[in-house]
Amino acid sequence: MTLFFKKTHKRRHDVFASLDLGSNKICCAIARVDERASGDGLRVIGVGHQLSQGVRNGVITNLESLEDSILNAVHTAEQMARETIEEVYVSIAATSARSHTLDVELTLGNSPIDDNHICQLLAMGRQAFAKEDAQIIHILPVTYALDSEFGIRDPRGLLGKKLVASLHIVSVANGVMQNITNCIERCHLGVAGFVVAPYAAGLSTLDEDEQALGVTVIDLGGASSSIASFLDGALVHVDSVSVGGGHITSDIARGLSTPLSQAERLKTLYGTTITSSSDERESIIVPQLGEGKVTATHQVPKSLLVHIIKARAEETLDLIWKRLQHTGMDRIVGQRIVLTGGASQLPGIRELATQKWQKQIRVGSPIGFNGGGDFVATPSFAVCGGLLKFAMRDFLSEDHAVLAKPSPTDNMMQRVVGWIRENF
């Protein structure tokens, strides 16, 4: 679980909303805590998704267009849920985020390690990292060392002279955060929290064993592919490459001289990375770029379409693997990789990745959700669903704080303690 200090807004305590700001789609989901529901006790009661306009790789390119997309997605979700939301948990693109590792050291007294010691280490990490141009959105301990003993996951209750925490910090430039916050506030909504997109995808698609043994989640999005690596139950690295499913669509449009909308349609209907001997004999009709209202078509062998798709898919997988090798994550996180996101639904992509990477690979869909229709069970919902799971954990931390009855001056400390209880 990640630590995040959020602004508070008045809202129904048992209803959460998430907003995934993707380059291809804007997705809003509303969920309610339901003790009778299976899994994590979340019931999705409203979903709205809209064609993304005005944002690419987490950077706003047109404020008014993005505002319209958000409003339309939120309105659809609210109508389905019959609820009015006032705040949302928002995804941050991994292309805008940076991963850092930092060790902090605390000299101990004679008393056993407790929550206060952990809080001091986290505060020291924040202070040591402090930068004028960046803001921390996630900070979490990966492992501890007590005196000469390493690899300690939970040091509470132990005695020693020196406690060292290895922290993983994810930061985002202040300008990116501020622009997204301003845009959401223009939509008359508050920001409950930010979560980096591939981490959210991992929260919704991974089980505890995968996170403990080592796994990398790759969110194959529209404009980029995001990477989140987990080990011993902790997020240990975030990365990205600026190539995604949208580049396959663009290649089809250029290679077959067809509009982007038709290229997306051809990819959806006929797209695959698996070649077949029948592809040369099978023809597909391709609408051509024309002038005015006149639209010409011509036929091309399916093999040409498959060749275009496979070439770009191979390039994308190669770039991802180079990033994993560059950061050492190819060795650290074991043999398992989970593909998710819209482009992971391309037929043959899992088989191609298995062949190239020689790893155990599966396509990950959100798990533990109730309601919401068929879309909630698809990889396209992974980030939006992960935001809801993050919100649920935040909700549990709030419950800890309420039970403790914090005063305004010690509210931050109580939220840290609540996070520790949820994390360990």
In tens digits, what is the pLDDT along the chain, a chain of 424 residues? 444 434 444 445 789 999 999 999 999 999 998 877 666 678 999 999 999 999 988 889 999 999 999 999 999 999 999 999 999 999 999 999 999 999 999 999 888 999 999 999 999 999 999 888 899 999 989 999 999 899 899 999 999 999 999 999 999 999 999 999 999 999 999 999 999 999 999 999 999 899 888 999 999 999 999 999 999 889 999 999 999 999 999 999 999 999 999 999 999 999 999 999 999 999 999 998 865 555 678 899 999 999 999 999 999 999 999 999 998 888 877 679 999 999 999 999 999 999 999 999 999 999 989 898 899 999 999 999 999 999 988 887 654 332 222 333 334 444 454 444 445 4
Are the CB atoms for 244 and 222 separated by under 8 Å?
A: yes
In the chain, where does the domain assigned CATH 3.30.1490.110 lie?
97-172
pTM tops 0.75, yes or no: yes
Cα separation of 230 and 199, whole Å? Answer: 9
Cα separation of 25 and 393, whole Å? Answer: 25
In the chain, where does the domain assigned CATH 3.30.420.40 lie?
1-96+173-206+367-424, 208-364
1-96+173-206+367-424: which CATH number, 3.60.20.30, 3.90.1150.10, 3.30.420.40, 3.40.630.30?
3.30.420.40
Considering only the top CATH level, what class is 97-172? alpha beta
Are the CB atoms for 86 and 9 separated by under 8 Å?
A: yes
CATH architecture assignment, domain 208-364 = 2-Layer Sandwich (3.30)
Tokens of 249: 């669509």
Cα separation of 191 and 7, whole Å? Answer: 7
